[in-house]
Amino acid sequence: MAREHWFFIGGALAVLLPIVLAVAIKKLELLETRADAREVFSTVGGRKLHLHIFHAAGAQKKSPSPALLLFHGGGWRFGSPQQFYPQCQYFAAQGVTCISAEYRLGPNHLPDIAGAIEDAADALAYLHDNAARLAIDTQRLFAGGGSSGGQLALALGLGLHRNESPRPAGLALYNPVLDLSPCAPANYLAGEGWEAISPQHQINGGLPPTLILSGSEDPEVTPKMVSDFCNRAREVGSNCTNIEYAGQYHGFFNDYEGNTYFEKTNSAVLKFIQDVE
């Protein structure tokens, strides 16, 4: 192999190895992080589903706190509640109880999105039923999530789950899947019943105040998708706000070394929670 090739390989490794190491360290840190509590809210196919709860600072010593229920991304097939541990730590320190939820995943076949929506509904209902014990104000119980998890939160806000089930007070969504129609990137995961679970096609006047955080360069949730969704939501009388971050791609909000957008999105969501009455 020519000397210049070795120089190229050495240079590439010098660039890539620190990045790989930083990501590995961050994953280890998340594995070491512990939620304040883990509670079973449902059992599906013999598997217990947990809520990973981060209590608001001083929540047991004062009036009930606002709360944020989050659903991780991963195309309804992968991922874990640990994705939102960094956000939950931040919100809990700011006086907001934060809960990262498990839900059924389907890694080896088409995911059961409708089933995952029911898991999300069970999680929300559990928090309502246990609000007094958890010191949560149900009038300020928000839902949110990233990508596919954002679709689950939207399903709760749009009432795509069981009749008479509670809806969130507001939605804080990180590049959420909005459109599952045949022309959309995520359609292949939705199957033939895509329309019933596609937020863009189920918008109604019951949608609570909604904040969407998105990247201008996201190929999965494009600026047009976000614009179309918010415009339609406003047409039916709902409050939909989008903050678009220039030059950012899918998943830009996650916590990793040097990512200023982690802090920016945290601040935006906290302000949204504080402003919704």
pLDDT band at 144 (very low <50, low <70, confident <90, very high): very high
Residues 140 and 247 both lie in one domain: yes
Same-domain pairing of 50 and 7: no
Q: What is the DSSP letter of 55?
A: P
Domain that holds residue 59: 36-275
Considering the domain architecture, whether residues 138 and 269 belong to the same structural domain is answered as: yes
pTM of the model: 0.87
One domain for residues 19 and 41: no
In this predicted structure, the answer to whether residue 17 has a pLDDT above a threshold of 80 is: no
Structure tokens at 58: 């001083």
- 130 with 14, same domain? no
Alpha helices in the chain (DSSP H): 3-32, 85-93, 113-129, 131-134, 148-158, 187-190, 194-197, 223-235, 260-275
Stretch 66-91: mean pLDDT, rounded? 97
Query: Are 1 and 58 found together in one domain?
Result: no
135 and 253: one domain? Answer: yes
Task: Supply the mean pLDDT for the chain.
Answer: 89
Q: How many CA atoms lie within 13 A of 124 on its CB side?
A: 33
Q: Write the pLDDT tens digit of every residue in 20-64.
A: 445 444 454 545 789 999 999 999 989 999 999 999 997 555 689
Question: Cβ atoms within 10 A of the Cβ of 271, count?
Answer: 11
**What's 188's domain CATH number?**
3.40.50.1820
* Number of domains into which the chain is organized: 2
